[in-house]
Structure 1
Amino acid sequence: MSSTSEPAAVPPRRGRGRPPRGESTDTRDRILTAAREEFSERGYEKTSVRGIAKAAGVDSALVHHYFGTKEQVFEAAIEVAFAPAFNAPGAVADGPLDGVGERLTRFIFGIWENPTTRTPLLAIVRSAVNNDTAAAVFRRLIGAQLLRRVAAQVEREDAELRAELAAAQLVGCAMLRYVIKVEPLASADLEQIVARVAPVVQGHLTAP
């Protein structure tokens, strides 16, 4: 009597660059963490998908699988880093309109003062200043996610321009204080800065 043995089960092959089941979330987060560190240390131009993959301990095809191009990886890293800033419209709207300038000023400077959010912000700003592609991603994300939402809280015909002028005021001050580190602004007391800047931001948003 002959017996036939069933062939051993062969696990399905996974395509190059695709993660095993159950690892997708952890792998994606690991890639994003590595990308933020690479962009922070090297800037946009000197960072490569291969370098991000190596830092994350994955194949570069896996980075493409999750995010696509380096530009898309950069944009995803910005979204994570700017997540607190995307809550700004809620913080701005939480109170009377005549105090919107101070609330927005305190919120934005609070993000820069926090070391956890300041490090990726510095990398993003430096990349945007030195590279057109990074700058385009930065503008698109900030315009869609932050400025338009802030403008929606201001009931004026030129609300978008007002929001952009307010943002320019705050970004300019942040650049001088945290990136270029111009004195005495770089070491000035935060309350003194808020007291001087907030009325200007308020004027941009609500003045006739």
Structure 2
Amino acid sequence: MTEPSAAGRRTGRRPGSPDTRDRILTSARELFARDGMDKTSMRAIAAAAGVDPALIHHYFGSKRELFLAAIELPVDPQAVISALAAAPVDELGAVLIRNLLQLWDSEARDALLAIFRSNVAAGDTAVIRSFILDVMLKDIAPRVDSPQGSGQTRITLVASQVSGLLLTRYLMKFEPLASMAADEVVVAVAPTVQRYLTGRID
């Protein structure tokens, strides 16, 4: 299949063969689950699906968009990512927790829980790890890389806090955490997240 020219493209959902698109998604799910987003290349997905790599860009745009489509996330996390990008470094902890809670307390909660629960049950930890580290937190690492080389360690520590919070508040429903108001959770958790981001971790 020949990729259409830029002038001939339309905005919105990209047209094309449903069979080809489904093969790409199936291959992407398998590779993302096995290797995670960061270690999975577009070429590897294309090879597994038996298509030209250009078709993946045609249907999905970027690897991030393909990943989100593959895990069938019911919401776009861009609101959280944009809020983090706009936040001062010394407010990242509070902004992250506040926006994550807003996302999980929205109408998408049941769908998010279903995805989280199914991946935990299936042992697909690479998918959860990639979503938190490679989608949600990746752009933060360079901003908190002080001392140099600590950025990845910092966001990994943040990921441990975030995944634990989501697990205990929404999936396991530990009380009183499960019933706490979002503002209370931000006050309790954000300082620890902020310390991971900008405090001493040695």
TM (norm. structure 1) is 0.61
Cα distance between partner residues in 1 of 2:163 and 2:130: 16
Once the two structures are TM-superposed, the CA of residue 87 in structure 1 deviates from its matched residue by: 4.5
Question: What residue is the counterpart of 1:121 in the other structure?
Answer: 112
Conserved? CA contact 2:94–2:191, under 8 Å: yes
Conserved? CA contact 1:102–1:194, under 8 Å: yes
- The number of equivalent residue pairs is 151
Question: What residue is the counterpart of 2:161 in the other structure?
Answer: 169
How does 1:7-156 map onto structure 2 within 5 Å? 25=15, 64-69=22-27, 71-72=29-30, 75=67, 76-78=69-71, 80-81=73-74, 83-84=76-77, 86-116=78-108, 118-132=109-123, 134-156=124-146
Cα distance between partner residues in 2 of 1:112 and 1:187: 13
Percentage of pairs with the same residue: 32
Cα distance between partner residues in 2 of 1:206 and 1:91: 18
Cα distance between partner residues in 2 of 1:81 and 1:153: 29
In the alignment, residue 145 of structure 1 is paired with which amino acid?
V
Once the two structures are TM-superposed, the CA of residue 62 in structure 1 deviates from its matched residue by: 6.8
Q: Residues 80 and 182 from structure 1, CA distance in 2 versus in 1: closer, same or farther, beyond 3 angstroms? A: closer
Q: Residues 24 and 139 from structure 1, CA distance in 2 versus in 1: closer, same or farther, beyond 3 angstroms? A: same
Once the two structures are TM-superposed, the CA of residue 103 in structure 1 deviates from its matched residue by: 0.8
Conserved? CA contact 1:93–1:153, under 8 Å: no
TM (norm. structure 2) is 0.62
